[in-house]
Chain A
């Protein structure tokens, strides 16, 4: 175990009471408990309030473009499979702007742990609907209420047979840290959708609203059963299940399938001049 102090303590740009404060605490705790040192970790994010997270702990950081954290993380993993790569971004960045990458990333099964801060609203741009905003939710941009049915990231990921799908809650740091550890231990794409209140722009899905509904899955729950997982993923009402909803350890991560990576990272490898000359001779 690594001392959590290695990950530092930083002043943030977040609102008091925002779920982000707990989520980053859970991330730091999970990293330290997994025995990872900051140098071994790459935090990747997009743009949004959640995407500022990597700046508030000590690690390698790639804070890229809105919606594009996953492709950048994919490139980084393929460049150096020795890095532990975590992505932190919000629901708008991950499921809206980055929706195509979300689907492709799960299919690609790149070995990253994707922590989505899901507060069902765009916070940084002051309160427009996000893909996970509930039907009928009124905002300044959707004065008649949201017409779109909400995107269910957990159900979508289970539907795609993502190897690790979990739902956490920012109000339960212990539970969330456990989920993040399990996600990092999983070899392959791990999604952790984290429910969190937005104290400034979401007056419906408040801390109290979530607190009343979220319920960790019990030990009897079998995340290996896909059909049950799909059903559980769709539970959203008086009870919202938390925990590892689906898990399939048999899927092979992309990194393991690429012949060039069989002997590890390609960084610093000199060009094989014999092979290069052979390739040129193919054009004779």
Chain B
């Protein structure tokens, strides 16, 4: 019988190419009309160790990763051993005949007779493709797209190997893992959270990105660097995160929409620069892709433990906004919003994601690029200049003019006769440093006044499920899918369940969600940290106390099963 859903783990050592096989397979599945969600697990090393690439694929949308595997494709013997306990009863572990492993669920493939050394991964792709019932055309097309241009000399051998492995598998195994047929619909994109943040930044008009390499944030800068020449942007690898953030503030002051991307430890180094952006009232978008801490923590695993850190980052008091996307689509759109909010509020805005979402390839509808407006500080400059009319350029330009909204018209340096003066010291309206304490008080109030604008644009939390709910799951960021799937599973058993998901975690507007908390029977916070940071924040902001929590802090993403087990406890 054909399967509607399959959970496939490809495992091996770092450097064996499992990500290549996984990505090719992902592309084939999406091209043939299936949906998927990828969870990547890898160790902090270049070679060896044990890495995994899990594809959960279905003819329906796939909201979350799941536990229990239908297929384990082992590229090394350790994978077979490590994941045997996670195999579903009717599952299959595909191994290399050469390892001499035997067992009930093991199926040995004579890779040596199917492929020569460097084509082993192509053979695996052929084996998996045949097992799950993908046609050879879609597999060959994916191979051609991936390697055709880069290695034309290997094209024929790649195709031969794939067909040979495919045919062998069809002859020797006809049972049970075929996916139900699907009709390819309109074109889908296949991309991960960091890809979507990068695309969002590009669409929003990013022109400058400075970074210091740090997993799992690096790919954002790499995506931008790859397109910098053709799209017209500057990407600079800095000597450290301190330099990165100060470069970005310098570029933003001068007139380029700017982005920094980092993770916890690197963000810690950036924090004084965040405060600088706030003081200079300079737009800055910071993408913080979380991994477990403290300190170096688990460099390649996932966590949601830096909400409070980002919320309180930077000395002194200033307004900010923090977005926490839960889907690929939200990664794109919240990033666009972050650039606009940074530009409009003239200050720092954060995108808080995590390793799980950053690496999780998923199929999604193409973004409506035509509906996205890019920020353009030069337009603002021109408008501000026009509003100043024939102001005498020898009189100091009031970069920090006190206004009812707290937002001062921003000119850019060098583009007019007016001089733009900005100082990290407390300053007068014309930007020069001051120790006039009356001015200091007014400037504090001016900066905080900008919170009104930020508050006027809060993205309300999304609600899914039954209203009122007997059980309400509350979470933020990447846990959205797991909460919905856990919730659906309980609804299928007759429970009234709701999910409240925050894709913006600061500021909070109680009027948008407090009634849902109060009207629910039982409220449970679901978070990837050990202390319930969102639950604590909600209590601080609303007085509503969420007593029950399902928390995960072992470096792995929340799954529906984990949540269900947690609810039973």
Q: Which residues of A contact B (CB under 8 A)?
A: 38-40, 42, 44, 47, 52, 55, 58-65, 68, 70-76, 78-80, 82-83, 100-101, 103-104, 258-261, 265-273, 275-277, 279-280, 283-284
A280, B191: Cα distance in complex, Å = 10
Highest count of chain A CB atoms <10 Å: which of B187, B190, B228, B414: B414
- Which B residues are CB-close (under 8 A) to A55? 421, 423, 432-433
Which residue in chain B gives the minimum CB-CB distance to A262? Answer: B229
Whether B376 and A268, one on each chain, are in contact in the complex, defined by CB atoms closer than 8 angstroms, is: yes
Query: Across the interface, which residues of A come within 8 angstroms of B473, CB to CB?
Result: none
A70 contacts across to B, CB distance below 8 A: 243
Chain B residue nearest in CB terms to A261: B234
Instruction: Pull 27 A–B residue pairs with CB atoms less than 8 Å apart, ordered by A.
Output: A39-B414, A55-B433, A58-B419, A60-B414, A60-B419, A61-B419, A61-B422, A62-B250, A65-B276, A65-B424, A73-B250, A74-B236, A74-B250, A75-B249, A75-B253, A76-B250, A76-B251, A79-B207, A79-B256, A100-B239, A104-B238, A260-B232, A261-B234, A266-B207, A268-B255, A268-B378, A283-B195
B255 touches A80 (CB 8 A): yes
B231 CB–A CB distance under 8 Å: yes
For A68, list chain B residues within 8 Å (CB).
242-243, 246, 273, 276
Which chain A residues border B416 with CB–CB below 8 Å? Answer: 39
A39-B419, A64-B249, A275-B230 given; name 7 further pairs at CB < 8 Å: A61-B420, A61-B421, A63-B433, A65-B272, A104-B243, A272-B230, A280-B369
Q: Is the CB of B246 within 8 A of A72?
A: yes
Question: Of B2-10, B198-206, B500-508, which stretch is located at the interface?
Answer: B198-206
A266 touches B256 (CB 8 A): yes
In the complex, whether B547 has a CB less than 8 A from a CB of chain A is no
- Measured CA separation A268–B367 after assembly (Å): 24
Partner of B251, one of A42, A44, A79, A273: A79
Give the residues from 468 to 494 in chain B that come closer than 8 angstroms, CB to CB, to chain A: none
Nearest residue (CB) in B for A67 is B242
Q: Which residue, of A52, A103, A268, has the highest number of chain B Cβ atoms within 10 A? A: A268
> Given the known A-B contacts A74-B236, A80-B413, A104-B243, are A61 and B423 also in contact in the complex, defined by CB atoms under 8 Å?
yes
**Judging by beta carbons under 8 Å apart, are B254 and A75 in contact?**
yes
**Chain B, residue nearest A55 (CB):** B432
Most-contacted residue by chain B among A71, A73, A269 (CB, 10 A): A71
In the complex, which residues of chain A have a beta carbon less than 8 angstroms from the beta carbon of B251?
75-76, 78-79
Which residues does chain B contribute within 8 Å of A101, judged by CB atoms?
239, 242-243
Q: How far is the CB of B427 from chain A (nearest CB, A)?
A: 9
Known: A62-B253, A80-B255. A39 touches B203 (CB 8 A): no
- Cβ-closest chain B residue relative to A267: B255
CA distance A80 to B276 in the complex (A): 20
Q: Mark B399-438, 1 if CB is under 8 A from A, else 0.
A: 0000000000000111111111111110000011100000
Q: A75 and B190: CB pair below 8 A?
A: no
A58 nearest CB across to chain B (Å): 6
Q: Is B377 an interface residue (CB 8 A)?
A: yes
Chain A min CB distance to B205 (Å): 5
Judge whether B189 is part of the interface by a CB distance below 8 angstroms: yes
* Contact in complex: A79, B255 (CB < 8 Å): yes
B210 proximal to A (CB < 8 A): yes
Listed residue (A68, A72, A104, A261) with the most chain B CB atoms within 10 angstroms of its CB? A72
Closest 5 CB pairs of A and B: A268-B378, A75-B250, A72-B250, A79-B254, A75-B251
Chain B positions 126-173 with a Cβ under 8 Å from a chain A Cβ? none
Shortest distance in angstroms between A254's beta carbon and chain B's nearest beta carbon? 9
Q: Which residues of B contact A267 (CB under 8 A)?
A: 207, 254-256, 377-378, 412, 415
Q: How large is the interface on B (under 10, 10 to 19, 20 to 34, 35 or more residues)?
A: 35 or more
Answer whether residue B86 sits at the interface, using C-beta atoms and an 8 A cutoff: no
B248 within 8 A of A: yes
Q: Mark B178-220, 1 if CB is under 8 A from A, else 0.
A: 0000000001111100010001001101011010000000000
A273 touches B369 (CB 8 A): yes
Give which listed residue, A72, A73, A103, A260, contacts B229 with CB less than 8 A. Answer: A260
For B258, give its contact among A64, A75, A269, A277 (CB under 8 Å). Answer: A75
Q: Which residues of B contact A (CB under 8 A)?
A: 187-191, 195, 199, 202-203, 205, 207-208, 210, 227-234, 236, 238-240, 242-244, 246-256, 258, 272-273, 276, 280, 366-367, 369-370, 374, 376-379, 381, 393, 412-425, 431-433
> Are B246 and A76 interface neighbours, CB within 8 A?
no
When the two chains form their complex, are residues B207 and A71 in contact, meaning their CB atoms are under 8 A apart? no
A44: chain B residues at CB < 8 Å are 250
Chain A residues, Cβ within 8 Å of B233: 260, 266
A64 to B433, CA, bound (A): 11
Q: Are B424 and A279 neighbours in the complex by a CB distance under 8 Å?
A: no
Q: How far is the CA of A48 from the CA of B258 in the complex (A)?
A: 27
**CB of B99, distance to nearest CB on chain A (Å):** 36
Q: A79-B208, A259-B229, A268-B376 are in contact. Are A280 and B189 (CB under 8 A)?
A: yes
CA distance A144 to B326 in the complex (A): 58
Identify which of A64, A75, A100 contacts B240 (C-beta below 8 A). Answer: A100
| B190 and A72 contacting across the interface, CB-CB below 8 Å | no
Give which listed residue, B227, B247, B412, B422, contacts A71 with CB less than 8 A: B247
**Chain A residues near B370 (CB-CB < 8 A):** 273
When the two chains form their complex, are residues A280 and B367 in contact, meaning their CB atoms are under 8 A apart? yes
Contacts A64-B249, A75-B247, A78-B251 given; does A272 touch B231 at CB 8 Å:
yes
A275 to B424, CA, bound (A): 38
Minimum CB–CB distance from B220 to chain A (whole Å) comes to 14
| B421 CB contacts on chain A under 8 angstroms | 55, 60-61
Q: Which residue of A lies closest to B228 (CB)?
A: A260
Q: Are A64 and B246 in contact (CB under 8 A)?
A: yes
Question: Across the interface, do A40 and B414 meet the contact criterion of CB distance under 8 Å?
Answer: yes
- For A80, the chain B residues whose CB sits under 8 A away are 254-255, 412-414
Q: Is the CB of A280 within 8 A of B424?
A: no
A42 to chain B: closest residue by CB: B413
The answer to whether B255 touches A39, judged by C-beta atoms less than 8 angstroms apart, is: no
The minimal Cβ–Cβ distance linking A106 to chain B, given in whole angstroms, is 11
- The complex places the Cα of A103 from the Cα of B243 at a distance, in Å, of 12
CA A71 to CA B273, docked complex, whole Å: 11
> Which chain B residues border A63 with CB–CB below 8 Å?
422-425, 433
Q: Determine if B420 and A258 form an interchain contact, defined as CB atoms under 8 angstroms apart.
A: no
Instruction: Decide: B243 and A62 in contact? CB cutoff 8 A.
Output: no
Q: How far is the CB of B425 from chain A (nearest CB, A)?
A: 7
A276 adjacent to B231 (CB under 8 Å): yes
Residue in B210, B229, B243 whose Cβ sees the most chain A Cβ within 10 Å: B243
Q: Is the CB of A71 within 8 A of B208?
A: no
Once bound together, how far apart are the Cα atoms of A281 and B418, in whole Å? 43
